[in-house]
């Protein structure tokens, strides 16, 4: 039986009707075209680090995105990369840090493949990929052709993009523009400044090492022996409130709370909300529990089902809403299931 649990970082998910591997861009396009022509549903699967798959599984074809490829071109002080969707993301970040290409070093330790990064507009520790992405090459399933979308056409926002809520585009390749400076920009993120201080520039390998240290401390670096890493990372996104919603929240919060300005209003800490609503580290007594290292991670303790994960996620979501009137939203893609 082809179980998706064997291909996801949560180790959850039922069977798939059919599985096919695509080790090149042409094979990926061909697999999707053939499935579309046969009216067969398609699930694209890279590293499996951002998927919650139902216990019943996937009724169509699962296309495994494979085939790492990185091309490099210098443009004065910049380095232009073209990276296939099947390239392991952290391997790319490690290469950039070692080569002195600045712009993605704070995104170290994030599991998954490069093709997924524009979908989520992956971000951490003060960086997000939309800051360095120049364009994304896609297979446009609606038009039946390959297209190149500029960064402006990608609809990047906080943990979202034009790709996230639509099956129209299949990411084939991502273009990045990095700086050949060999050092980071000013360190502004609070946790990083505690480790590195806040100078104007830090060697990229030092930033990477510090980020990996921080992520390991939160169970956010994959380790098969550590159940705290059997997760999708942060399960909920940080909610963003309008000015009117902030005023109402202030009344319920009753004390100082972590928040940050956002173009849409004010961003709250989902981790703080979860903890204050009574769901601390290690919460739960079933096969799925809150991580003992980070309250945003819901973890499979070894014998869980997706239904167990969803039950705990609903309990936390509803508890935060009851306590603070704030709706938490899931960050991973939910496949054949919902909260």
- Residue 185 CB contacts under 8 Å (≥ 6 apart), including other chains: 102, 200, 201
Task: Considering the candidates 159, 183, 216, 321, report the single residue annotated as catalytic.
Answer: 159
Reduced to 3 states (helix: H, G, I; strand: E, B; else coil), residue 59 is strand
- Residue 85 CB contacts under 8 Å (≥ 6 apart), including other chains: 25, 28, 46, 65, 113, 114, 115, 116, 171, 172, 173, 174
Closest C-alpha among 192, 203, 82, 68 to residue 132: 82
Helices and strands per DSSP (H, E), number in the chain: 8, 17
**Would strands 145-150 and 133-140 be described as parallel, antiparallel, or unpaired?**
antiparallel
Other Cβ atoms less than 10 A from the Cβ of 305: the count is 17
Task: Considering the candidates 11, 215, 259, 331, report the single residue annotated as catalytic.
Answer: 331
Residue 159 annotated in active site: yes
Task: Considering the candidates 161, 184, 231, 234, report the single residue annotated as catalytic.
Answer: 234
Residue 40 annotated in active site: no
Residue 314 annotated in active site: no
Interatomic CA distance for residues 150 and 153, integer angstroms: 5
Interatomic CA distance for residues 290 and 284, integer angstroms: 7
Q: Catalytic positions, please?
A: 159, 234, 331
């Amino acid at each position: 039986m082809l179980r998706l649990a064997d291909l996801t970082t949560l180790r959850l998910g039922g069977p798939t009707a059919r599985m096919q591997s695509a080790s090149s861009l042409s094979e990926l396009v061909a697999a999707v075209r053939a499935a579309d022509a046969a009216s067969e549903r398609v699930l694209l699967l890279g590293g499996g680090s951002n998927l919650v798959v139902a216990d019943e599984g996937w009724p169509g074809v699962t296309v495994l995105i494979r085939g790492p490829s990185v091309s490099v071109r210098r443009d004065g002080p910049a380095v232009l990369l073209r990276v296939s969707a099947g390239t392991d993301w952290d391997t790319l970040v490690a290469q950039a840090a070692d080569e002195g290409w600045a712009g993605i070093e704070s995104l170290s330790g994030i599991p998954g493949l490069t093709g997924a990064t524009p979908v989520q507009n992956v971000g951490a520790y003060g960086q997000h990929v939309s800051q360095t992405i120049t364009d994304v090459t896609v297979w446009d399933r609606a038009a039946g052709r390959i297209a190149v979308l500029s960064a402006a056409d990608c609809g990047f926002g906080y943990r979202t993009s034009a790709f996230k809520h639509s099956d129209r585009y299949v990411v084939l390749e991502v273009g990045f523009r990095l700086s050949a400076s060999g050092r980071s920009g000013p360190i502004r993120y609070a946790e990083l400044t505690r480790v590195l201080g806040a100078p104007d520039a830090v060697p990229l390998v030092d930033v990477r090492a510090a980020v990996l240290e921080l992520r390991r401390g939160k169970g956010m670096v994959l380790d098969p022996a550590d159940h705290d890493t059997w997760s999708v990372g942060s399960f909920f996104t940080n909610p963003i409130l309008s000015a009117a919603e902030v005023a109402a929240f202030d009344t319920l919060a009753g004390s100082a709370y972590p928040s940050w300005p956002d173009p849409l209003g004010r961003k709250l800490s989902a981790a703080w909300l979860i903890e204050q609503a009574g769901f601390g580290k290690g919460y739960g007594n079933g096969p799925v529990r809150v991580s003992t290292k980070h309250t945003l991670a819901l973890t499979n303790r070894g014998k869980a089902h997706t239904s167990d994960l969803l039950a705990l996620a609903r309990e936390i979501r509803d508890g935060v809403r009851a306590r603070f009137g704030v709706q938490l939203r899931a960050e991973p893609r939910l496949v054949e299931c919902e909260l």
